[in-house]
Amino acid sequence: MQKALDVILRRNSVTPEVPVCPDHGNEMRLRGRIGRPTRFSAQTEEEYTLIYFCPVHQCNQTDTRQRVKTQIPVPGESPERPIFSRREGR
Note whether residue 89 is domain-resident: no
Eight-class DSSP state of 63: E
Note whether residue 67 is domain-resident: yes
d(CA 53, CA 67) in angstroms, rounded, equals 17
69/43: higher pLDDT = 69
Note whether residue 53 is domain-resident: yes
Position 47 scores a pLDDT of 79
d(CA 42, CA 17) in angstroms, rounded, equals 29
What CATH number is given to the structural domain containing 38?
A: 2.20.25
Domain count within the chain: 1
Structural domain range at position 37: 15-73
> For the segment 14-58, what is each residue's pLDDT rounded down to a tens digit?
667 889 999 998 999 999 888 765 555 556 677 788 999 999 999
Position 90 scores a pLDDT of 53
Note whether residue 84 is domain-resident: no
